[in-house]
Structure 1
Amino acid sequence: MISKSGQPSNKPPCSSAIDFNLSYGPAMAIRVDFADYEAEGVQHQHPQGQLILALYGAVTCRAESGVWIVPPDCGVWIPGGVLHANQVTSNARLTYLFVEPGAAMLPAECCTLSVSPMLREMIHRVAELSGSDARDAHGDRLVRVMLDELALMPRERLELPVSDHPKIALITAALLADPSDRRTLGQWAEHVAVSERSLKRLLVQETGLSFGRWRRQLHLVIALRELAGGATVQRVAGDLGYESTTAFIVMFKKALGTTPSRYFAERLLSAERAGDNRHLRP
């Protein structure tokens, strides 16, 4: 395995921690500290649905229909059989919950779910039981209640809709590589060799958003990932091409109803109250 620096890595892939051949009933969970595993960016799939929780740091999940960020107190749900790839921050500590097909009434498409403190604690307990021989009738009841609670969790709008249309994919790749790029819709239309009107119509058709709203959502997804990874608000604002930190904070507050510092402080406090502070400290 080669690390991001281009040097050989001695860390095993995260998949080595998962044995799908063992029977865990309707669901199993594992905790993953990426200090111990190589971050995997290749596309893969599995028959089980997967919920990705971030205990610390963040993970960006890419699937055919979009890009999702997993900040604290949220999880990304990936239905079974969906091709996806995960990119983690270097400080990431995650919990993966795998759900057998048909075991719960969960969405048929990828989405971000809010995760209550109670549900988070239940998933952590299932992770402890999945790593031991302690699964008994009590553990099975816990799993059923956990899955019922998971099915009730509300969705969060923390995804970036994408498209496999060549022209939209080209713009997406360019802006993910350089989110500070401030080219206008007309300039992008010239870049991909279509009229501005045609590109405007295509973006709405393929993503459901106007160009301005779509780019703001891209900035939000990247900002959440970088802030959860430890970057400062000032650095993120600069990396995204905002003229001032204040302008970035205004965008963030308009999208999520609060400032970046309060957003993460509230989620950290919620996790600590649930007993997770031992996982959230680097």
Structure 2
Amino acid sequence: MDVIDPTAVQRAVFVVAERHDVLDTPWHAERRVQFVYVSEGVLTVRTDSGLWVVPPHHAVWLLPGALHRASALNPVVIRTLCADTEAVPVPAENCVVSVEPLIDELLLAAAQFGADYPAEGPEARLIDVIVDRLPLLAAAPLSLQYPRDRRILRIADALIAHPAQSGVLDELAARAGVTARTAARLFVKETGLTFGQWRQQLRLLIALERLGAGTSVTRVAFEVGYNDVSSFIAVFKDSLGETPARYFR
């Protein structure tokens, strides 16, 4: 398949397909909004304000202009819908959504002709159907907002670097030079989550990334800070509706 330079495309909406054995892009920003669908593998997207992990049959909305980087530890197959902001219903912020089988097939078909299609005809109508379906896709709880306060960000960075550490908020706050009470208040104010909820979501997203890379459930459970596998599986199922084994089946 020919490589498409998105900056040179005149069409308002088009789809490109890619496969990477591993992926680690530099920090960059796009002028178009992107709807990045993962058909195989797990994609991780980071900005200075948050983290999004995209497993198979999910997609991430990436708004234009924001610096971000994407990575995948193992092979990943993605199909990306690129669009001018006025051509698609753009969400208010970056988010992950579940993708129905119909959209999967339509994106696959649209990737076959890419940006090379007439303004009127079956290809344009196929694109229109995709655009019409996008607002109907359900959001998935696969993102994490970073705090902005530098003191609280020190706590977040410590947990990101070592998700298995078991320190309580009092200890982590003391190292960051802030009281536990202030830290607890700021976590809720800046992320919408309590400290405990934030750490659990971080562990879940890191676990998803590592499970998608083929690491065993047992190893991942201990790597992200659980003392027993059954507790990890219970949290995973409560958050995502399936056990890890069924989620990646």
TM > 0.5 fold call: yes
* Contact 1:62-1:86 within 8 A present in 2 as well: yes
Q: TM-score, normalised by structure 2?
A: 0.93
1:103 partner amino acid:
A
Deviations 1:39-80 (A, max 9, x none): 334221111111122222111111243200000111110112
The aligned counterpart of 1:239 is: 223
Partner of residue 16 from structure 2, selected from 14, 30, 52: 30
Q: Structure 2 CA distance, aligned partners of 1:108 and 1:226?
A: 29
Q: Structure 1 CA distance, aligned partners of 2:4 and 2:113?
A: 14
C-alpha displacement at 1:90, in angstroms?
Answer: 2.4
Q: Structure 1's 32 and 25: CA in aligned 2 closer, same or farther, altered over 3 A? A: same
Partner of residue 101 from structure 2, selected from 108, 111, 117: 117
| RMSD of Structure 2 on Structure 1 (CA) | 1.9
Partner of residue 241 from structure 2, selected from 249, 252, 257: 257
Deviations 1:102-138 (A, max 9, x none): 1011202101111100011111111111175688611
* Contact 2:34-2:80 within 8 A present in 1 as well: yes
Partner of residue 154 from structure 1, selected from 138, 149, 160: 138
- Structure 1: gaps spanning 5 or more residues: 1-15, 266-282
> How many positions carry a matched residue from both structures?
248
User: Identical aligned pairs, as a percentage?
Assistant: 33
- Structure 2: gaps spanning 5 or more residues: none
Q: Structure 1 CA distance, aligned partners of 2:28 and 2:233?
A: 36
Deviations 1:243-277 (A, max 9, x none): 11111101111212221111222xxxxxxxxxxxx
Q: TM-score, normalised by structure 1?
A: 0.82
Q: Structure 1 CA distance, aligned partners of 2:212 and 2:193?
A: 26
C-alpha displacement at 1:202, in angstroms?
Answer: 1.0
Aligned pairs for 1:202-217 within 5 A: 202-217=186-201
* Contact 2:36-2:79 within 8 A present in 1 as well: yes
Q: Structure 2 CA distance, aligned partners of 1:29 and 1:262?
A: 30
Q: Structure 1's 241 and 142: CA in aligned 2 closer, same or farther, altered over 3 A? A: same
